[in-house]
Amino acid sequence: MTLEKTTTILLTGGAGYIGSHTFAALIDAGYQPVILDNFSNSHPAVLDRLQQLTGQRVVRERGDVLHAGFVAEVLRHYACEAVIHFAGVKAVGESVQQPLKYYSNNVGGLVSLLQAMETSACRSVVFSSSATVYGDPASVPIHEQFPCAPESPYAQTKLMCEDILASLGAADPAWRVGVLRYFNPVGAHPSGLIGENPRGTPNNLMPYVTQVAVGKRARLQVFGDDYLTPDGTGVRDYLHVMDLAEGHVAAVQALLTRHQSFTVNLGTGKGVSVLEVLSAFERASGRRVPFEFAPRRAGDVAQYYADVSLAEAVLGWRATRTLDDMCRDSWRWQQTNPEGYEAGPDIPPRPGLRSRPNEPAQPAAVA
């Protein structure tokens, strides 16, 4: 079955890092994405950038996934045929300090979205899960059949969401669910117009490296030099965000045409150490990145990378971009946007929605 060019896909959290890149990839593939975001961790200026990038008006609604009535209105108004659910909070350390924020937004947000979908005709959903559900794996590469052993409230929320989706699929076979377990997304769109825009001190390696290279931070701390890995530093499966975005396009296509649910890893299948990232980045940027070794970071595992054979079999997708591509594109984004997205015009909330997230609101009349 071929899909109509106008197939509309709702992207909750579509203004965020992965959502904005997926928006661009969906437009390239001929879909009509609609962004729903409360901008709690994104900047409205990304919308102007997406318009510049795609040459199309960016269809967006400001609101919270916790407002099921609002989400239902949006689904019906745009006749969405599938949802990609990116909206969520994602800082592992913060989830240990503030677990209720994570259970409420991530688990509560999914339940709210699914309730909204139940009131519409839309039964296809792609869910942003994470390799963190595997915990510390007994061996690598990690296959989807490996046991899940979440080690933080954040990871626990992702597994709980997967379980909720599985229960729904078991109760009603009309539901089609694509669970994507991302490994480590890095990089930016090659245009340099959109990229990762962390608030405050970055938690993750690549944005920290780019901020050191651009002079915003003095030096990188490499957490641990005594892991049982070839050079003693942590090994991860870094994946270009545009490959990840294209993985979502493949997932939507698979759900809408083959009507089967799946759970797959999205990674490159290749483990890369912190020191290897550093030297690739120095090569790509021509900048030196000062670093010092520091103690291991609590909760980090020595190494993990994906077995990607199932993604290839189910989605016909595999990552094609190299570590050098990831570094070059991260650097271009950072260099041309040293402060991330500039201040831009704010997006007013929908009528009927109050501005504070988590506050109950009347369903908005979507005009």
**Active site residue ranges:** 154
Nearer to ligand NAD, 108 or 232 (CB): 108
CA–CA dist 182, 90 (Å, integer): 12
User: What is the smallest separation between the CB atom of 275 and ligand UFG, expressed in angstroms?
Assistant: 9
Kindly state the helix (H) or strand (E) to which residue 239 belongs, with its residue range: strand 238-240
Both structure tokens of 266: 């999205």
In three-state secondary structure terms, 222 is strand
| Contact letters for ligand UFG, residues 5-44 (x by CB under 6 A) | ----------------------------------------
* Phi and psi angles of residue 219, each rounded to the nearest 5 degrees, phi first: -155, 155
Nearer to ligand NAD, 287 or 297 (CB): 297
Q: Per rule CB under 6 A, is residue 141 in the interface with ligand NAD?
A: no
Both structure tokens of 218: 């003095």
Q: Per rule CB under 6 A, is residue 240 in the interface with ligand UFG?
A: no
Applying CB under 6 A, which of residues 124, 130, 156, 265 lies at the interface with ligand UFG?
Answer: 130
CA–CA dist 26, 42 (Å, integer): 19
Find the part of the chain contacting ligand NAD (CB under 6 A) among 11-19, 26-34, 222-230, 303-311.
11-19
CA-based diameter of the chain, in Å?
59
Applying CB under 6 A, which of residues 64, 162, 243, 246 lies at the interface with ligand NAD?
Answer: 64
Check: CB of residue 308 under 8 Å from CB of residue 244.
no
Check: CB of residue 17 under 8 Å from CB of residue 43.
no
Q: Per rule CB under 6 A, is residue 183 in the interface with ligand UFG?
A: yes
Residue identified by tokens 């792609």 is 126
State the DSSP code for 147. P
User: What is the smallest separation between the CB atom of 180 and ligand NAD, expressed in angstroms?
Assistant: 8
Check: CB of residue 36 under 8 Å from CB of residue 71.
yes
Q: Per rule CB under 6 A, is residue 130 in the interface with ligand NAD?
A: yes
CA–CA dist 314, 308 (Å, integer): 10
User: What is the smallest separation between the CB atom of 173 and ligand NAD, expressed in angstroms?
Assistant: 26
Applying CB under 6 A, which of residues 10, 11, 15, 306 lies at the interface with ligand NAD?
Answer: 15
In sequence order, the β-bridge partners of residue 357 are none
Applying CB under 6 A, which of residues 8, 11, 16, 32 lies at the interface with ligand NAD?
Answer: 16
Nearer to ligand UFG, 209 or 256 (CB): 209
Interface of this chain with ligand NAD, residues 94 to 113, rule: CB under 6 A: 105, 109
Nearer to ligand NAD, 141 or 267 (CB): 267
CA–CA dist 70, 16 (Å, integer): 20
Check: CB of residue 242 under 8 Å from CB of residue 250.
no
Residue identified by tokens 């039964």 is 123
> Which is nearest to 326 in space by CA: 236, 250, 252, 249?
236
User: What is the smallest separation between the CB atom of 52 and ligand UFG, expressed in angstroms?
Assistant: 28
Q: Per rule CB under 6 A, is residue 90 in the interface with ligand NAD?
A: yes
Q: Per rule CB under 6 A, is residue 314 in the interface with ligand UFG?
A: no
CA angle 218, 199, 290 (to 5 degrees): 15
Nearer to ligand NAD, 54 or 287 (CB): 54
| Contact letters for ligand UFG, residues 186-205 (x by CB under 6 A) | -----------------xxx
Q: Per rule CB under 6 A, is residue 153 in the interface with ligand NAD?
A: no
Q: Per rule CB under 6 A, is residue 237 in the interface with ligand NAD?
A: no
Nearer to ligand UFG, 112 or 210 (CB): 210
Other CB atoms closer than 10 Å to residue 120's CB: what's the count?
Answer: 19
Q: Per rule CB under 6 A, is residue 211 in the interface with ligand UFG?
A: no
In three-state secondary structure terms, 281 is helix
CA angle 18, 86, 180 (to 5 degrees): 85
User: What is the smallest separation between the CB atom of 287 and ligand UFG, expressed in angstroms?
Assistant: 17
Other CB atoms closer than 10 Å to residue 171's CB: what's the count?
Answer: 9
Interface of this chain with ligand UFG, residues 78 to 117, rule: CB under 6 A: 90, 92
**In the complex, which residues of this chain contact ligand NAD (CB under 6 A)?**
12-13, 15-19, 37-42, 64-66, 86-88, 90, 105, 109, 128, 130, 182, 185
